Homo-oligomer: A and B are copies of this chain.
Amino acid sequence: MPQDTLTHLRDRLRAFAAERDWDQFHNPKNLAMALSGEAGELLEHFQWLTFEEAAALAPEARGEVALEAADVLLYLVRLCDKCGIDLAAAADAKLAINAERYPVEKSRGQNTKYDRL
């Protein structure tokens, strides 16, 4: 049975850091900074685009965005590992909170109260 992607990445990142003696740099504070920096790089790909352009990236741009998205995921997984956070469980918990916060009948087609996913 294949391993879950998040668990697989967590384990590969642990090994990657251990081999390079990088645990000393992977304090959660630093990792939160690196995560935010990568989110900013991803953002920059979209900053001058129209909605139409953003929804139809050319293959080269999509490939660049994919690698930025990967950077965000890798730092996120590593941050959660160093904080003792189960990321998959947290995502499930947040989805449950969102379902309660945004009832279907009140949220349909509204972006006004919609300040979180």
Tell me the A residues contacting B by CB distance below 8 Å. Answer: 1-2, 4-6, 9, 12-13, 16, 19-22, 24-25, 27-30, 32-49, 51, 54-55, 57, 62, 65-67, 69-76, 78-80, 82-91, 93-95, 97-99, 102, 104, 107-111, 114-117
Q: List 24 A-B contacts (CB under 8 A).
A: A5-B6, A9-B91, A16-B99, A19-B104, A25-B111, A27-B51, A28-B55, A29-B33, A30-B47, A33-B33, A34-B117, A38-B40, A39-B72, A40-B43, A66-B83, A67-B93, A67-B97, A69-B85, A69-B90, A70-B91, A73-B76, A73-B87, A74-B91, A75-B117
Contacting A22 at CB < 8 Å: which of B71, B114, B115?
B114
